[in-house]
């Protein structure tokens, strides 16, 4: 790590705290004033001037291969900014902006060459509260660029992050629980296929039945990650959950195992290392489906800052574990057959929303004759759906009671 990076990180901490002190309301969303914003040449480098309706926490860093400048904000409304923002230099090839996770906005500037980061500052007008972010990149220098590129894990962002992680929406005990149901696979990716039954079709049927049951029971708002036989990337499924502000994410599956005797339901939560070989293989197979379907998985890691994700997960993961536990207890009490050691974990990409308790439910295995018979039987599925509905209700009560305790 070059000394220049350390120096600007240091500068950034000071600037960031400065912005914190000056801005009035950090929970509000800043708007980009495109008319007052510009990206242009300056000497041998590039200059960005972004005018915002108010000061917000921010950070800047560069990434190599390909060379990019990344600006993170909490939070900027980019509406219409892409087309309207003036780019007056061919040293910038492209511009993307959008939400990277709830409460966090990002702008990615594609650079034509390794223009080295020089300085960044946000000035907040004491009178109007408007803010101007000024970023300067210097001349091209491949060696210096690669030495300083990377997502900073410096004390500025990391130290400030705990308060910056968006709190779960404040909801009283009577508000409906927002549930995202994810019917596994779809479209080009059929999932398991046995005896003319495709996992993707069966899971869509089950997801619709579960939605209907939850809506009939009342107290739930329900979304599906897909409504038809279409392909949705794993990342896209998680993004949809974020978009609707889901409070819980249930991914429904009925995969096939090479061991045809394996049968019964199991619940998976996210972990860096898998609980067993079969779980690892399942997670790997689900990720491979995304690659085969043409999703570019490179660079997904820099979509969200790891540090922020870890912080959110510390809060979310125990809630997901509690949900998995409740589901297993409910399955047991409701007579839904379980796999031996039904609570498992693995690195499923679809469970990676850092701030939404997420579980993957293997409702059974299509490779097993009994499970296949169960899952194809509407009466059996109705029992499963009733148990799932009850389990969600039980978990919601416990989860909100816990949240209320934490608030006191």
Among residues 361 and 391, whose Cβ is nearest to Zn ion? 361
- By CB under 5 A, tell whether 191 contacts Zn ion: yes
Token duo for residue 213 = 């049951």
Considering the complex, state which of residue 70 and residue 202 has its C-beta at the smaller distance from Zn ion.
Answer: 202
Closest distance to Zn ion from the beta carbon of 184 (Å): 4
Report which DSSP code applies to 152.
-
User: Closest approach of Cβ 199 to Zn ion, in Å?
Assistant: 5
- C-beta of 22: minimal distance to Zn ion in Å? 50
- Residue 56 tokens read as 């917000």
| 281: β partners | none
* Cα–Cα distance list, 232 to 121, 186, 300, 380 (Å): 40, 7, 16, 28
Contact 265, 370 (CB under 8 A): no
For tokens 């495709």, the residue is 198
Number of other residues whose CB lies within 10 A of the CB of residue 276 = 12
Smallest gap from Cβ 45 to Zn ion, in A, equals 49
Minimum Å gap between C-beta 308 and Zn ion is: 29
Is residue 253 within the footprint of Zn ion (CB under 5 A)? yes
Give the three-state DSSP class for 4: helix
Piece of 172-180, 207-215, 250-258, 300-308 that binds Zn ion (CB under 5 A): 250-258
> For Zn ion, which is the closer residue by CB, 251 or 326?
251
CB count in 10 Å sphere of residue 211: 18
Determine if 168 is a binding residue for Zn ion (CB under 5 A).
no
Q: Does 255 bind Zn ion (CB under 5 A)?
A: yes
DSSP string, 89-136: -TTEEEEEEEEEETTEEEEEEEESS-EEEEEEEEEE-TTT--EEEEEE
34 vs 374, which CB is nearer to Zn ion? 374
Phi, psi for 108 (deg, rounded to 5): -115, 125
Q: Which listed range, 95-103, 247-255, 324-332, 392-400, lies at the site for Zn ion (CB under 5 A)?
A: 247-255
Instruction: List the x/- string, 199-238, binding to Zn ion by CB under 5 A.
Output: ----------------------------------------
Task: Establish if 184 lies at the interface with Zn ion (CB under 5 A).
Answer: yes
Q: Least distance from C-beta 237 to Zn ion, angstroms?
A: 12
Residues that bind Zn ion (CB under 5 A): 184, 191, 253, 255
């Amino acid at each position: 790590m070059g000394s220049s990076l350390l120096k600007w990180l240091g500068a950034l901490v000071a600037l960031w705290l400065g912005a914190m002190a000056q801005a009035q309301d950090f929970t509000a969303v800043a708007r980009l004033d495109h008319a007052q914003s510009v990206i242009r040449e300056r000497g041998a480098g590039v200059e960005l001037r972004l005018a915002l309706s108010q000061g917000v926490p921010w950070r800047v860093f560069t990434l190599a291969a390909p060379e990019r400048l990344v600006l993170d904000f909490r939070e900027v409304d980019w509406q219409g900014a892409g087309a309207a923002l003036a780019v007056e230099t061919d040293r910038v090839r492209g511009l993307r902006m959008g939400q990277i996770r709830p409460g966090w906005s990002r702008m990615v500037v594609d650079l034509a060459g390794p223009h080295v980061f020089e300085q960044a500052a946000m000035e907040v007008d004491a009178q109007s509260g408007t803010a101007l972010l000024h970023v300067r990149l210097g001349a091209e220098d491949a060696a210096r660029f690669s030495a300083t590129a990377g997502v900073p894990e410096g004390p500025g962002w990391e130290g400030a992050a705990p308060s910056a992680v968006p709190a779960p929406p404040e909801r009283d005990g009577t508000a409906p629980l927002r549930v995202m149901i994810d019917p596994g696979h779809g479209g080009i990716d059929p999932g398991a296929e046995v005896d003319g039954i495709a996992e993707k079709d069966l899971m869509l049927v089950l997801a619709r039945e579960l939605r209907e049951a939850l809506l009939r029971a009342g107290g739930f708002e329900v979304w599906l990650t897909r409504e038809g036989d279409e392909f949705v990337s794993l990342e896209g499924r998680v993004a949809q959950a974020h978009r609707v502000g889901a409070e819980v994410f249930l991914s429904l599956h009925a995969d096939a195992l090479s061991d045809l005797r394996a049968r019964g339901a199991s619940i998976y939560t996210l972990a860096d290392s898998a609980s067993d070989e079969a779980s690892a293989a399942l997670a790997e197979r689900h990720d491979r489906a995304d690659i085969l379907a043409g999703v570019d998985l490179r660079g997904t890691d820099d979509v969200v800052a790891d540090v922020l994700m870890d912080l959110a997960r510390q809060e979310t993961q125990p809630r997901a574990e509690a949900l998995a536990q409740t589901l297993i207890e409910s399955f047991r009490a409701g007579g839904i057959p379980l796999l031996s050691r039904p609570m498992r974990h693995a690195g499923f990409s679809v469970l990676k929303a850092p701030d939404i308790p997420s579980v993957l439910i293997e409702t059974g295995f299509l490779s097993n004759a009994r499970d296949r018979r169960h899952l194809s039987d509407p009466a059996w599925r109705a029992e499963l759906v009733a148990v799932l509905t009850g389990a969600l209700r039980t978990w919601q009560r416990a989860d909100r009671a816990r949240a209320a305790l934490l608030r006191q």
